[in-house]
Chains A and B, each alone.
Chain A
Amino acid sequence: MSTKGKITGIISNLVMVEFDGPVSQNEICFIIHSEVRLMAEVIRIGGKTAYVQVFETTRGLKTGTIVEFTGHMLEATLGPGILSKNFDGLMHDLDKMTGIFLQKGDYTPALEDDKLWKFKPLAKPGDEVLAGSWLGEVSENWIPHKIMVPFIFKGTLTVTDVVSEGEYQINDTIAILTDTEKQEHKVTMVQKWPVKIPIKAYKEKPRPFDFMETGIRVIDSLNPIVEGGTGFIPGPFGTGKTVLQHALSKQAEADMIVVAACGERANEVVEIFTEFPELDDPRSGRKLMERTTIVANTSNMPVAAREASVYTAMTISEYYRSMGLKVLLLADSTSRWAQALREMSNRMEELPGPDAFPMDLPAIISNFYARAGFVYLNNGKTGSVTFIGTVSPAGGNLKEPVTESTKKAARCFYALSQTRADSKRYPAIDAVDSYSKYLEYPEFLEFMKKNISPKWVDNIILAKNILIRGRETYEQINILGDDGVPINYHVIFWKSEVIDFVILQQDAFDKVDASTPIKRQRYMMDKVLEVYHTDFHFDSFEDVNPYFKKIINVFKQMNYSEFESDDFKKYENELQEIIQERKKEKAEIN
């Protein structure tokens, strides 16, 4: 007998329900509102009253309305068919909904019950398996989608039967497992999992060490992230958070991208819907949409589902990680999720923490980031979820609860600077203030020295130092005046500008410049450092600025040209000529 209840109060989308049986925290219930059923989640229980947050508008709801409890928490539906879909925050398929406008209670299924999938068994009778073990696979787009032992099973089970190769629907039984109590269990291709609980069907989660290429120079060449790592991008509005996330979703080296559009603009998701089916994935040659899944709860969609949306996206990512894939999860913006928590907490009149956010916000954020990671599966294969979220600090002030809590949880910090954005120095990541904690991991450094270049780590440190010195020198010039400092100050400053313009700045909207493969990044870094190491001859400080502008201009033309193309080489030669113009000979230096 499922528990039932009746509405006794309504404040915005917080509804009080008097219930008659057992109810659990975070249980899902449905409000029977005339013809439609409105989904809601229990967020507090007191006496005979459950406080539920409704994932819809509560307009027109009345007291006395019947509420049915479901006995389970909010769950994701996991099985073949997730890839390339557009879901809402509760994992309803947006494309299946009818009409232009979202109708309340229009809850479409995530997957297709009648679709046939070509199943190939990977396990055989007698095999011993654990939760997450691969029983078979179907091909979903191009991904060998593993059909796994449902994550809910505990302990070792024995495979009693697996169906033979053939076409099956997701609800068909594809295997029978026997547990230690001799109990038989039928397994289908689809399983449910509560989104707020991490999927832990893996053997081990070591520190990540494998470089994840993003094609974004200021990340890869200065603040690299690893496969299974975490990062966050705080920045005032308009500084480039979303453009950066879109660039990552297009270019990052991952098998699958999950985009959680959390409480931001609908048009930004439309951009993905529109462009990704047309754009090529440079690595696989397939369309970008073939490796992408979108979970959209844009700012005009129900606020209560905002929190759910990031958990749904994380659960989908963990599911694919268990198949041995590299998944990149992007969430824009985690601040909107925190704000949704704040709205609810205020409505429930909880004791507020800083800036009226709930007291447990830091714990919520760090638990979420902890779900990312690189794992060894039970079968020895590896998989990863890399997570990069944006943060939208109120007033652009980084000393606010969401930014501060996230800083403690994420290992890479990509700080977007208003000043850089104002002067159109995009991407506006402040390379000096930003950091990658992975540069402190010896296993990662080893990996990079071996796989990219032995000088790679030294180059990062040098480039950052040049930028810092450039910044300091610039301040000195501003204090003392152009002619109040030695000419060399101008040279130091302009050498740092070369790094800024050539490595840091990158035009996300230019076909070529948008993405730089690591080989090319290494080449450009070497070139730029070559300029740095060259001693130039100047008679007056007035000559310094135009000369370096010339150098930067030619470098920029190189950035706009296909790597190693004729144009590229032409500009490179031009660059060498310009360098020769003012290069000091050895004798001169001494």
Chain B
Amino acid sequence: METTAFQKIYTKIEQVTKATIALHASGVGNEEMAVVNDRLAQVVKIEKDLITLQVFSGTEGIPTNAEVVFLGHAPQLSVSDELGGRFFNAYGQPIDGGPEVDGKKVEIGGPSVNPVRREQPSELITTGIAGIDLNNTLVTGQKIPFFADPDQPYNQVMAMVALRAKADKIILGGMGITNDDYLFFKNVFENAGAIERIISFVNTTENPPVERLLVPDMALTAAEYFAAEKNQNVLVLLTDMTLFADALSIVSNRMDQIPSKDSMPGSLYSDLARLYEKAVQFPSGGSITIIAVTTLSGGDITHSIPDNTGYITEGQLFLRKDTDIGKVIVDPFRSLSRLKQLVIGKKTREDHPQVMNTAIRLFADAANAKTKIENGFDLTDYDKRTMSFAKEYSEKLLAIDINIEIGKMIDTGWKLFNKYFSVAEIGIKSEFVEKYGRSIENKKN
């Protein structure tokens, strides 16, 4: 490793726990990197001259006379155009057999953008998926996770979204993903002929879990380089943030910190916010958009991880299987894009917001009708119409295999209203009914 002749080598370790070692040393900075035998470690606590190091790959087999060398800097990444098309591990070391990247060394987890220097996001990202573009429109500079149970095809959907979004760079941060998932991403990106635009930092299930903690910062540091210095639009994909948070809790438990809810550290909100807030629209045109995956257990979004995530991100995309049509849909109830207001009806047709809301409201009515059936009651005519509407709405708009343009999505909405409902039942501003949904009046009432 990067040891040089004049660096002091320590060989007397005082304490060893599962995740940390402690030794006497002087002149060491907080968060500084060190090498313990061949393993990378980082300073997490300094008490007088007793330095506690977190060893990323664990302390199994570390002897009390292991060689410890401090590197004099926090974790770093070499950034330059050469990053394009490359695959790295959590430490930013190549894993694709290629050479080390030649570039400027920057510390990861750097400073935040001054809020008054941010630009308000306003560029729409189109994905062709109506569950996203119509109901939960995404904007560059946004941060949003998929909330999905482990059996949902979230990585596939994310890869599809990434390729359809017109980003200059796509940066994948893989945390605890399986080797198969890693190969899947590699394949999809190669087949799309997009490999030069893609940079990956990957920690698979075969790597030590604590190493994952470095992955998002690596990915975001690379993103900041391209967005802030090269004015590029960068899309960062982080999967799976639940496994990242699990690693946080492993570390805090091993360091005897008082856990808060769900045995997560009390700082979970700040830890996650620090990462997600790297999403930004720069005034110079560059941007960082973060699409993440937060896997749920049994759909429970009150668990600390999704709960804190929801408080931080600008919405969430909920994947679930719709049993009516047997396909995966973007659930219109629990999904939300908080930045959609910035573009819908402005960059898209003016009737977009109302058509979207009305369709969702009618979909909710259908859900109520279903409850009636479950409770053994008869359905009214209106109930029956909402149920037929809901099925068609799922099929033609919510299913994730849809790939159409936004104008067409809005028209499809009107067509369905037209088919099943009267003007009073849809309750849209009459100006829009006149202008875009005229034919609806001829149908009912």
Chain A residues at the B interface, C-beta cutoff of 8 Å: 8-11, 16, 57-63, 86, 94-95, 97, 99-104, 236-238, 263-267, 269-271, 273-274, 296, 298-301, 303, 336, 339-340, 342-343, 346, 352, 355-356, 392, 394-397, 422-424, 478-479, 481-484, 509, 541-542, 545-546, 549-550, 552-553, 556-557, 560
Alpha-carbon gap, A61 to B25, bound state (A): 14
Q: How many whole Å from A31's CB to the nearest CB in chain B?
A: 11
What are 22 inter-chain pairs, A to B, with CB distance below 8 A? A9-B48, A60-B31, A62-B29, A94-B115, A237-B310, A237-B311, A267-B141, A270-B119, A274-B120, A343-B270, A356-B258, A394-B307, A422-B333, A423-B361, A481-B372, A481-B378, A482-B377, A482-B380, A484-B377, A549-B424, A552-B427, A556-B427
Interface residues of B in 357-391 (CB under 8 A from A): 357, 360-361, 364, 371-372, 375-378, 380-382
Question: In the complex the two chains form, what is the Cα distance from A395 to B30 in whole Å?
Answer: 34
Which single member of B116, B269, B334, B375 contacts A95 (CB below 8 Å)?
A: B116
Q: In the complex the two chains form, is B273's CB within 8 Å of A300's CB?
A: yes
Chain A nearest CB, measured from B103 CB (Å) = 19
The chain A residue with its CB closest to the CB of B363 is: A423
Tell me which residues across on chain B come within 8 A of A549, comparing CB atoms.
424-425, 427
Flag whether B111 is at the interface (Cβ < 8 A).
yes
Partner of A94, one of B114, B258, B377: B114
Q: Given A238-B315, A356-B259, are A9 and B47 neighbors across the interface (CB < 8 Å)?
A: yes
A394 and B424 contacting across the interface, CB-CB below 8 Å: no
Asked if B223 is an interface residue, CB under 8 A from chain A, the answer is no
Chain A CB count within 10 A is highest, among B44, B270, B310, for B270
Question: Closest residue to A395 on the B side, CB-wise?
Answer: B302
Check B177 for interface membership: any CB of A closer than 8 A: no
Task: List residues of B (97-145) whose CB comes within 8 Å of A's CBs.
Answer: 107, 109-121, 141
Q: Verify if B39 is at the interface (C-beta below 8 Å from A).
A: no
Question: Which residues of A lie under 8 Å from residue B109 when comparing CB positions?
Answer: 59
B interface residues, how many (CB within 8 angstroms):
83
Complex Cα distance A395/B302, Å? 4
Q: Which residues of A contact B141 (CB under 8 A)?
A: 267
Given contacts A59-B74, A267-B118, A299-B277, contact A238 B48 (CB under 8 A): no
Per the bound structure, the CA–CA distance linking A478 and B383 in Å amounts to 14
Contacts of B382 in A (CB 8 A): 542, 545-546
Whether B118 contacts A299 by the Cβ 8 Å rule is no
Q: Are A483 and B378 in contact (CB under 8 A)?
A: yes
Tell me if B259 and A237 are in contact (CB < 8 A).
no
In the bound complex, do residue A61 and residue B119 qualify as a contact, i.e. CB atoms below 8 Å apart? no
Closest to B256 in A: A349
Chain B contacts to A: CB under 8 angstroms: 26-32, 44-49, 74, 107, 109-121, 141, 228, 257-261, 266-267, 269-270, 273-274, 277-278, 280, 282, 302-304, 307-308, 310-312, 314-316, 333-334, 336, 338-339, 341, 353, 357, 360-361, 364, 371-372, 375-378, 380-382, 422-425, 427, 429-430
Q: Name the contact of B364 in the complex, choosing from A95, A423, A478 (C-beta under 8 A).
A: A423
User: Which one of A296, A339, A397, A553 lies within 8 Å of B270 (CB-CB)?
Assistant: A339
B48 engages A270 (CB within 8 Å): no
A10 to B44 Cα, complex, angstroms: 8
CB proximity of B105 to chain A, nearest CB, Å: 15
In the complex with contacts A299-B269, A299-B277, A60-B422 CB distance below 8 A:
no
Q: Are B266 and A546 in contact (CB under 8 A)?
A: no
Taking CB atoms, residues of chain A closer than 8 Å to B427 are: 549, 552-553, 556
Given contacts A266-B118, A478-B375, A546-B422, contact A58 B30 (CB under 8 A): yes
A102 near B302 with CB under 8 A, answer no
Least CB distance, A38 to chain B, in whole angstroms: 12
Beyond A100-B114, A299-B269, A423-B361, list 12 extra A-B contacts (CB 8 Å). A94-B116, A238-B310, A266-B115, A273-B115, A300-B273, A301-B112, A355-B261, A356-B258, A395-B302, A395-B307, A397-B302, A481-B372
User: How distant is the Cα of A10 from the Cα of B52 in the complex, in angstroms?
Assistant: 10
Please give me the residue from chain A that is nearest to B51 by CB atom. A63
Instruction: List the A side residues contacting B27 at CB < 8 Å.
Output: 62
Q: CA–CA, A395 to B307, complex, Å? A: 6
Which residue of A16, A270, A271, A557 contacts B430 across the interface (Cβ within 8 Å)?
A: A557
For A542, the chain B residues whose CB sits under 8 A away are: 380-382
> How far in angstroms is the closest Cβ of chain B from A305?
12
Which residue on A lies nearest to B333, using beta carbons?
A422
The closest CB in chain A to the CB of B268 belongs to A339
For A100, give its contact among B113, B304, B307, B378 (CB under 8 Å).
Answer: B113
Partner of B74, one of A60, A298, A546, A550: A60
Is the Cβ of A267 less than 8 Å from the Cβ of B29? no
Q: Is the CB of A60 within 8 A of B30?
A: yes
The verdict on A339 contacting B307 (CB below 8 Å), with A94-B115, A267-B314, A422-B333 known, is: no
- Contact check, B424 vs A545: say whether CB atoms are below 8 A apart: no
Nearest-CB residue, chain A, relative to B345: A509
Known interface pairs A265-B312, A266-B115. Does A59 touch B361 (Cβ–Cβ under 8 Å)? no
Contact B110 A8 (CB under 8 A): no
In Å, the complex CA distance between A553 and B426 comes to 8
Given the complex of chains A and B, what is the CA–CA distance between A58 and B32 in angstroms?
11
Residues of B within 8 A of A236 (CB): 310
Q: Are A300 and B114 in contact (CB under 8 A)?
A: no
What's the nearest-Cβ distance from chain B to residue A205, in Å? 34
Closest to A303 in B: B270
Q: Do residues B282 and A100 form an inter-chain contact, with CB atoms below 8 A? A: yes
Are A61 and B117 within 8 A (Cβ)?
no
The answer to whether B121 touches A59, judged by C-beta atoms less than 8 angstroms apart, is no
Residues in B with CB closer than 8 Å to A557 are 429-430
In the complex, what distance in Å separates the CA atom of A303 from the CA atom of B277?
Answer: 14
Closest partner residue, chain B, to A96 (CB atom): B116
Flag if B31 contacts A59 (CB, 8 Å). Answer: yes
Q: Chain A residues with Cβ under 8 A from B45's Cβ?
A: 9-11
Contact A424 B360 (CB under 8 A): yes
From A58, A94, A339, give the contact of B269 (CB < 8 A).
Answer: A339
Cβ–Cβ < 8 Å partners of A484 in chain B: 377
Tell me whether A550 and B424 are in contact in the complex, defined as CB-CB below 8 angstroms, given that A101-B110, A483-B378 are known contacts. yes
Residues of A within 8 A of B261 (CB): 355, 394-395
CB-defined contacts of B46 to chain A, threshold 8 Å: 9-11, 62-63
Q: Is the CB of A267 within 8 A of B31?
A: no
- The answer to whether B114 touches A270, judged by C-beta atoms less than 8 angstroms apart, is no
Q: Are A546 and B341 in contact (CB under 8 A)?
A: no
Most chain A Cβ neighbours within 10 Å, of B112, B315, B371: B112
Select A298's contact among B47, B258, B277, B341, beta carbons within 8 Å: B277
| Inter-chain contacts of A298 with B (CB < 8 A) | 112, 115, 277
**Cβ–Cβ contact B273 & A299, under 8 A:** yes
B307's closest neighbor in chain A, by CB?
A395
Q: What is the CA–CA distance of A60 and B316 in the complex, to the nearest angstrom? A: 36
User: In the bound complex, what is the Cα–Cα distance between A265 and B269 (angstroms)?
Assistant: 12
Alpha-carbon distance A392/B341, docked complex (angstroms): 22
* CB-CB nearest in chain A for B376: A481
Partner of B116, one of A62, A86, A395, A546: A86
A546 touches B425 (CB 8 A): yes
Instruction: Looking at the assembled complex, report how far the CB atom of B425 sits from the nearest CB atom of chain A, in whole angstroms.
Output: 6
Chain A residue with the shortest CB-CB distance to B356: A424
Given A397-B302, A509-B353, A545-B380, the answer on whether A267 and B113 have CB atoms closer than 8 Å is no
- Given A346-B257, A396-B302, A549-B427, A266 and B422 touching (CB < 8 A)? no
Flag if B29 contacts A61 (CB, 8 Å): yes
- With A299-B269, A346-B266, A557-B430 in contact, is A265–B314 under 8 Å at CB? yes
The CA-CA distance from A354 to B310 in the complex, in Å, is 23
Residue in B117, B141, B274 whose Cβ sees the most chain A Cβ within 10 Å:
B117
Shortest distance between the CB of A329 and any CB in chain B (Å)? 19
Given the contacts A10-B46, A60-B74, A339-B266, A101 and B113 also touching, CB distance less than 8 Å: yes
B116 touches A273 (CB 8 A): yes
| CB–CB B333/A343 < 8 A | no
- 8 Å CB contact of B266 from A296, A356, A478, A479: A356
Given contacts A237-B307, A343-B267, contact A267 B121 (CB under 8 A): yes
Docked-complex contact A63 and B269, CB < 8 angstroms: no
Chain B residues lying within 8 Å of A395, measured Cβ to Cβ, are: 261, 302-304, 307
